[in-house]
Amino acid sequence: MAAYGVAVPHKKQLSNGMLGFILFLASEVMFFGGLFAAYFIARADAPEWPPESLLTAEQLARGVELHLELPLTLIATILLVLSSVTIQLAVMQIGKGRRSGMVWWLFISIVLGVVFLAMQMYDYSQLPFGSGDTVFGTTFYTLTGFHGAHVAGGVIFMLVVLVRGLGGQFSSEHHEAVEACSFYWHFVDIVWIALFTTLYIVG
Amino acid sequence: MATIAVPRPGEYRRPVVLEWLTTVDHKKLGILYLYFTMFFFAVGGILALLVRTQLAVADNDFVDNHAYNQIFTMHASAMLFLFIIPIWAAFGNYVVPLQIGAADMAFPRINALSFWLLPPAGLLMFAGFLVDGGSAAAGWTAYSPLARTMGTGMDLWIIAVVLLGISSTIGAANFLVTMLRMRAPGMTLFRMPVFCWNIFVTSLLQLLATPVLASALAMLYIDRNFGGSFFDPNGGGNAVLWQNVFWFYSHPAVYIMILPGMGIVSEILPVFSRKPLFGYKAFVFATLGIGGLGFSVWAHHMFTTGAVLKPFFGFMTFMIGVPTGVKIFNWLATMWRGSISFEPPMLFAIGFVSMFLIGGINGTFSAAVPVDFAIHDTYFVVAHIHYVLFGGSVFAVFGGLYYWFPKIFGRRLSDSLGNAQFVLMFIGFNLAFFPMHLLGLDGMPRRIATYNNTDWEFLNMLSTTGAFLIAVSMIPFLMAVVKAFMSPADQPNDPWQGNTLEWYTSSPPPVHNFDDLPEIHSERPLFDLRHGTTGGH
């Protein structure tokens, strides 16, 4: 009879929590996969892209135009990519046991995330089309909107980690939440790079 | 792997209601899942009886067209989303940690969240009956553009299904981590009980397919409420897109609905045949094969749209018959020359194998593109899905209930009442659904509120009689449950001479599941314990 007990892992492996978190991210990939699929199908079907010819007289009269603002979004993109670097620096700091360094880099990452969101909102307010203006508008607002919601979720995640960091809950040995947070933030960043490439560069 | 002893957790006494509302114990959550899903089985069953009453005779006006659309939509939605899919989580929750010798799931609180998302979802979905325009009425497939025109009930349905999807996605991650990380010392992946393997592959499907449904539902919601054009060709959208994203989830979902049932049957057959499961590894690989192929066949639901690559999807659908055939062969070879005892779990398991075989064969018919064009949207398809989901899944549910009831509640369901239920249900089932094959071949379309072809009346009447016979078969089941709860909880650890670890601990198990575990050298540790190690994988 083996004694009932808790197995002590003899080799370093992902913790249960991290494994579960990575599986969660896999499901997120599939969620965005569905939305991207919708975009590409709409695009493949369209007579031209953006599908200007689908605009009704009423939409044209309202001044609807199907084009995107590249310069502002390019700056936002650079900031978001930068925030992936800064959150990784936060992870490296806590890996060396430097709690205040982690807090500072997290704070910078949060600021970059919030600025990204603010720029997205400004962009939304300026764009000459809405979510109801052809499938171009629908896919644009749905894809970027769900991404924006994930950025907001990531900012909240980072705030929680920041507060826990200020409370002294992390050390060089125990900082799984910081790593999970960085995984999530990198995921959000990679989705944005895919979105930016698809919507702005290929588009 | 070294082990350190942990002190046994003591019983933590709390008021009963508070305990059940806040429990994170996988066994209690499993029981909650069971009550919840059986409730919606009853609701879905009553809706089915309304459908059958309406269709019993030609030109019937028992319910009007709009009510009929709501009834059959909610029948399917309740049965699929609120009964079959979550009842596997009931069995999975209760049984998986016990079978792998763990104290609980990997994430007990997420487990509780998975369950507690269900009641609001059920309420929201059925709240549709209270709003203007009634509940969702576009079928459980919610095809667009039809679903874009429905009333508020459709939005409630969408939100409910998203909640259920979140529940099943996080539940899937929980099951996967539990099985990857919480197995008892000595239990390699290929010594994991075959029920666990089926839950494992089901969880993979849920994890990767359900989010795509969530994205589809988000698109439908945006189309309905924010003027979106995903499925509206006027704005450059594509109506077939809905079918693609919907079936990308919902075909794997068919395996989500059947694989755990296959797992239950694969636990029951060896125990009641007194033989090991024939070809354990082949069975595991067949399960993985069904899971993998399950992602490449979704468009066989859409042959008649003409917008899909028919030879590819037809071929892949035939391919999925191969691992399924392997499993049927495994089950038959397990019973071959076994010393079979026909107690209720075994009866339901054999019922599963025979009825699922019919469902598999008529499914393979439909995989042939020309045949599919002929029978698409006829009652033949309704017959097919009921042979796999009722003849398959529901028989497995009852097999599992009779099999694990002594473990879960410490009481045994009466054998004679179980036999009576099986006989009534088996006859009722075939009476209800076999005639649908003939009606379908004769061209009777599905999802119509009534028909004026009196040639179809006889077969429809047979089908309605069968449906009511199924309802009658629930009486002996309820009697067995009441009788069991009126008798003392006196079941031994292992009333069936089982093979797997859940039979090693008491019935019902203590909060911490196990005081000690036997050594594990094969996928049948308890058989080894009784008879000495026979050498395993």
Q: Report chain B residues whose CB lies below 8 A from the CB of A41.
A: 238, 241, 244
CA distance B210 to B203: 10
Residue type, B396: A
For chain B, first and last CA: distance in Å? 19
Q: How many CB atoms are closer than 10 A to CB A84? A: 20
Q: Tell me, what CATH number does B357's domain have?
A: 1.20.210.10
Contact B215 A31 (CB under 8 A): yes
Which residue of A32, A138, A176, A191 is the best one to mutate when testing the B interface, meaning the one whose CB has the most B CBs within 10 A?
Answer: A138
Residue B23 located in a structural domain? no
Contact B222 A38 (CB under 8 A): no
φ and ψ at residue A5, rounded to 5 degrees: -165, -170
Interface of B with A in 202-231 (CB under 8 A): 207-216, 218-219, 222-223, 226-230
Q: What is the predicted pLDDT for the residue at B293? A: 94
Which of A20, A45, A131 is facing B222, going by the closest CB pair? Answer: A131
What pairing do the DSSP bridges indicate for beta strands B3-5 and A5-7? antiparallel
Q: Cα B262 from chain centroid? A: 10
The answer, yes or no, to whether residue A1 has pLDDT greater than 50, is no
Averaged pLDDT, A30-48 = 93
Instruction: Specify the CATH number of the domain A16-202.
Output: 1.20.120.80
How is B437-482 classified by DSSP, letter by letter?
HHHHHTTPBSS-S----GGGHHHHHHHHHHHHHHHHHHHHHHHHHH
Interface of B with A in 4-63 (CB under 8 A): 4-6
Interface of A with B in 157-196 (CB under 8 A): none
Q: How many CB pairs under 8 A join A and B?
A: 157
Which residue of B215, B242, B517 is the best one to mutate when testing the A interface, meaning the one whose CB has the most A CBs within 10 A?
Answer: B215
Which of B214, B222, B516 is facing A4, going by the closest CB pair? Answer: B516
Contact A28 B211 (CB under 8 A): yes
- The shortest C-alpha distance from A41 to chain B (Å) reads 7
Q: Report chain B residues whose CB lies below 8 A from the CB of A37.
A: 244-245
- The shortest C-alpha distance from A60 to chain B (Å) reads 14
A103 is written with which tokens? 């807090």
Contact B518 A23 (CB under 8 A): no
Contact A51 B236 (CB under 8 A): yes
Averaged pLDDT, A105-132 = 96
Residue B20 located in a structural domain? no
pLDDT band at A6 (very low <50, low <70, confident <90, very high): low
Nearest CA in chain A to B231: A135
Q: What is the mean pLDDT of chain B?
A: 94
> How many domains, in total, are found in chain B?
1
Interface of A with B in 74-133 (CB under 8 A): 130-133
Listed as ranges, residues in chain B with pLDDT below 50 are 1, 536-537
Helix axes B85-99, B26-55, angle to 10 degrees: 150
Asked if residues B164 and B81 have their Cβ atoms less than 8 Å apart, the reply is yes
3-state SS, residue B5: strand
CA distance B133 to B141: 19
**Could you give the ipTM of this predicted complex?**
0.92
Which of A2, A20, A138 is facing B107, going by the closest CB pair? Answer: A20
Residue B435 located in a structural domain? yes
Q: B452 CB near a chain A CB, below 8 Å?
A: no
B507 secondary structure, DSSP code: S
Nearest CA in chain A to B515: A4
Q: Report chain B residues whose CB lies below 8 A from the CB of A132.
A: 226-229, 235
Secondary element (H or E) of residue A133:
none
CA distance B300 to B322: 17
Contact A5 B209 (CB under 8 A): no
Q: What is the predicted pLDDT for the residue at B531? A: 86
Q: A199 CB near a chain B CB, below 8 Å?
A: no
B511 secondary structure, DSSP code: T
Contact A5 B5 (CB under 8 A): yes
Structural domain range at position B278: 32-531
How is B200-247 classified by DSSP, letter by letter?
HHHHHHHHHHHHHHHHHHHHHHHHHHS---TT-GGGT--HHHHHHHHH
Asked if residues A143 and A35 have their Cβ atoms less than 8 Å apart, the reply is yes
Q: A51 CB near a chain B CB, below 8 Å?
A: yes
Name the residue ranges covered by the structural domains of chain A. Answer: 16-202
- The shortest C-alpha distance from A134 to chain B (Å) reads 4
